Each structure stands twice: as structure tokens, then as C-alpha cells.
Amino acid sequence: MEDYLRELSYDFRTTPYELPGSIADVLNQGFSQKDGTVLLTAINTQTCWPTFTDDQDRMDFEYTNNKFNTDSPEEDEELEYLKRALECGNRIANKLKEEFPGKIFKVLVFFNETNFESEHIALFAASSVRFYEVKQPDGENDLESYQGEAVLEIEVQ
């Protein structure tokens, strides 16, 4: 991820980025809470809720259900996907800090460019943001193990 940020000469924490209305709307709907979980309201409308046995289950549920895709196939420049994901991650981090003071969250920004194998596309460009509340100390994140995907972790306290 550091290579991409250098290439962009872009500081996502201080450089304003205008999000498309549909993406801004998702973020503006804020968060919902239920049974010790925090979820993005706009992308989590399920009425059937799982039974959690412990905090690890809650963290896993948040990580899985708070995946927000930020790419847009009509974009010509794939690095715009990254800027959009960084802006979404930053906004989510700031809102979490504001709405849940004293709680710790991890916001993860993912990005990959289109990859080719021979003359065929092996992986399309994509960007996404996920987050979860750290409810118990989690193990070491091996962010270097992600192949072909840049990952940025934003810790919110």
C-alpha cells in the first residue's frame, strides 16, 4: 500500500475527495447496533440475526458484514478506486471515533489493480473497506500475506 500512496502523492487524511452520491449516501446512513455488534446500516438490513457465543464471533460477523465495495466499473483510472476507498475508510474511521468514543476499531482498506495472466484478465481491479470493533486482543495481522492486493489498516481509538 505504501508504494501506491507514494505513487499517488496522496494523503487521504488531509486531502478532500468528493465521493459519488450513492457511496456518500451509504456512509451518511451511519451505524446500527445489535447484540454487541456495530454495522453499516445501509448494507446490513437482515432481519435474521445469528446467535453469538463470544466476542470473536461478533468480530468475525462485523468483519464479514461490514464489507463495503467502493470501486466503480465506469471509472477509467483504477487508482481512483484506491482514492475512493481511502476516503471511505477515513470517513468511517472518523465517524466511528466520534460515535463510539473509547472503543477500538480496525478499518481495513483493500485495493488491487487489474492483473493479467498471458492475455487474459486474472483479476479485475477492485477496492473495498471493512471494519470491526476490537472486542478482545486479536492475533497478529499478517497484512503482508495478501498477494496481489494492497491493504491499509487504520486503527481507531
pLDDT at 107 over 50: yes
pTM: 0.86
Q: What percent of the chain has pLDDT over 90?
A: 50
pLDDT level of residue 75 (50, 70, 90 thresholds): low
pLDDT at 2: 85
CA–CA dist 75, 28 (Å, integer): 23
pLDDT at res. 149: 67
Q: Per-residue pLDDT averaged across 61-79, rounded?
A: 84
Q: Span 18-39, mean pLDDT?
A: 93
What does the mean pLDDT of the chain come to? 86
**In the chain, what percentage of residues exceed pLDDT 70?**
88
- Average pLDDT on 129-149 reads 68
pLDDT confidence band for 157 (50 / 70 / 90): confident
How far apart, in whole angstroms, are the C-alpha atoms of residue 67 and residue 136? 20
At residue 93, φ and ψ (nearest 5 deg) are -60, -45
The pLDDT assigned to 60 comes to 93
**How does residue 45 score in pLDDT terms, banded at 50, 70 and 90?**
confident
What are the b/e assignments for 111-146, b being 16+ CB within 10 Å? Answer: bbbeeeeeeeeeeebbbbbbbbbebeeeeeeeeeee
- Predicted confidence band of residue 106 (pLDDT cuts 50, 70, 90): very high
Tell me the C-alpha to C-alpha distance, in Å, between residue 128 and each of 31, 35, 56.
17, 25, 22
